[in-house]
Amino acid sequence: MRIDKRVRMGAVALAVSGVLAATFSFLWGRETPTSAAAETAPPDVSIVTVKAEDRAILRELPGRIAPMRVADVRPRVSGIIVARMFNQGSDVKAGDPLYQIDPKPFEVELQAQEAALAKANAALDHAILQEKRALAMTKAQAISQAQSETAVATVQQARAEVAARQADVARARLNLDYATIRAPISGRIGAALASEGALVVQNDAVNLATIQQLDPIYADFTQSVSELNKLRQAFESGDLERISPDAAKVQLVMDDGSRYPFPGKLLFSEAKVDASTGQVTLRGEFANPKNVLLPGMYVRVLIEQGIDTDAIAVPQQAVQWNGGGGAEVFVVKDDGRAAVQPVRTGSLQDGQWLVLEGLKPGDRVVVEGFQKFAAGDSVRPLPWNEQQARVERSLRTGFTETTR
């Protein structure tokens, strides 16, 4: 009986083991095809199809804002300042009074010169009467010819004296007017460099204030002479087309990456090269109605220098850099596999790299999804949505991207 019990227990154990084995085999058979399918499915990547199109060649150059005109306020007569008549940092018009020098000494001087002029006029009137008498007496042979000539000369001397006194009066009146120091130009005046009670000296080298005209305003920037030579060669070879003078625009990029709303115009390119830097100076003029641009401000200047009629551009994130510093992109071949393609890039414009060599129209370039594959892997290309990608990056980073 004890032996039969052991036999029955062994049979039950074998039966349970068989059921478990069958169950695991069934479950394993259901999971294996799914895992294999997941491993063999190609990953999704976002791509752009390259096409050639007309594109303006923009050159971004560093520059600084400069005022259109600068005027130093200096005294033209000597004296004591008794009043300052402007607010520092305010806008002034040409001719507005800025400082008042004590006018009393100049008023006294003007009165003295006017008195001297009156005396000279009286002497002239007397000389004219003497001349008339002398001429009449000469005809009657009552006086000699020499006395008559003396009377005529006295009148001429009196007239000269009157002219001299008139010049003295004009000078005194001018000095009195100069006692009120006025703005030489319209613009924004800076700090007051003299206060009431200060003694100023005529034509002193130290200025009392500085006025800068800010609207319109200049942006001075430089470009290397080697780049200008390359540009000239591109025009001569036909790689670039010239932009018509009325279409040439100069734009400013502010420090936050935004575009300044008012386009400018290129005024000149200096006809000489700086021997120390090899740079050529250029200048643009911009409207500045709200005084957003201030002298000395650092800006970046975008200047259109030509048009590439068959330019190829790819999004900035599509270009990778290898260990040797070379640029390369991933392209999806006709068999659906990703391959590395070395390229030669030009300038970066509006978030896109200009590709000079390595790509042709119709190539499919990977823009997103690089972490999902390696070179030679099969991929599933999907069209890249730039706007959607920008929104997703904004959600991840918490910052809103702005297009330039």
Q: Where are the beta strands (DSSP E) in 43-153?
A: 44-49, 53-73, 79-84, 91-92, 97-101
pLDDT at 12: 44
Half-sphere exposure of 94 (CA within 13 A, CB side): 7
The ranges of the chain annotated as CATH 1.10.287 are 104-178
Tokens at 55, concatenated: 């594109």
- Return phi, psi of residue 101, to 5°: -85, 145
Could you name the CATH architecture of 76-102+179-206? Answer: Beta Barrel (2.40)
Let me know if 3 is exposed, middle or buried by CB neighbors in 10 A (0-12, 13-18, 19+): exposed
**Residues 252, 299: Cα–Cα separation, whole Å:** 7
Kindly give, in sequence order, each residue whose CB lies less than 8 Å from that of residue 261, ignoring residues fewer than 6 positions away. none
Residue stretches of the chain with pLDDT short of 70? 1-39, 226-228, 230-249, 268-272, 305-306, 386-404
Within 10 angstroms of residue 70's Cβ, the number of other Cβ atoms is 13
CB 249 within 8 A of CB 286: no
d(CA 47, CA 338): 11
CATH homologous superfamily for the domain 48-66+213-397: Efflux pump adaptor protein, beta barrel domain (2.40.30.170)
Task: Classify domain 104-178 by CATH architecture.
Answer: Orthogonal Bundle (1.10)
Question: Which pLDDT score is estimated for 403?
Answer: 43
- Per-residue confidence (pLDDT) for residue 386, from 0 to 100: 66
The one-letter amino acid code at 171 reads R
Torsional class of 216: left (φ above 0), alpha (ψ -120 to 50), beta (otherwise): beta
Count of alpha carbons within 13 Å of 117, Cβ hemisphere only?
A: 16
The amino acid that residue 318 corresponds to is: A
- Separation between Cα atoms, residue 232 and residue 236, nearest integer Å: 6
Q: Which residues of the chain does CATH 2.40.30.170 include? A: 48-66+213-397
Strands 380-383 and 44-49, sheet pairing? parallel
Q: What are the tokens at 165?
A: 């006194």
For residue 313, give the nearest of 372, 259, 367 by alpha carbon.
367
Other residues' Cβ atoms within 10 Å of the Cβ of residue 107: 15
Contact 62, 222 (CB under 8 A): yes
CA 303 to chain CA centroid, Å, is 11
Given a contact cutoff of 8 angstroms between Cβ atoms, the answer to whether 398 and 383 are in contact is no
Q: What is the CA radius of gyration of the chain?
A: 45
Q: Which two tokens stand for residue 202?
A: 């005529």
pTM for this model (two decimals): 0.60
Residue 250's contacts (CB-CB under 8 Å, 6 or more residues apart) are 219, 263, 264, 265, 266, 284, 286, 301, 302, 303, 304
Contact partners, residue 244, CB within 8 Å, separation at least 6 = none
d(CA 197, CA 82): 6
CA distance 198 to 191: 15
3-state secondary structure of 196: coil
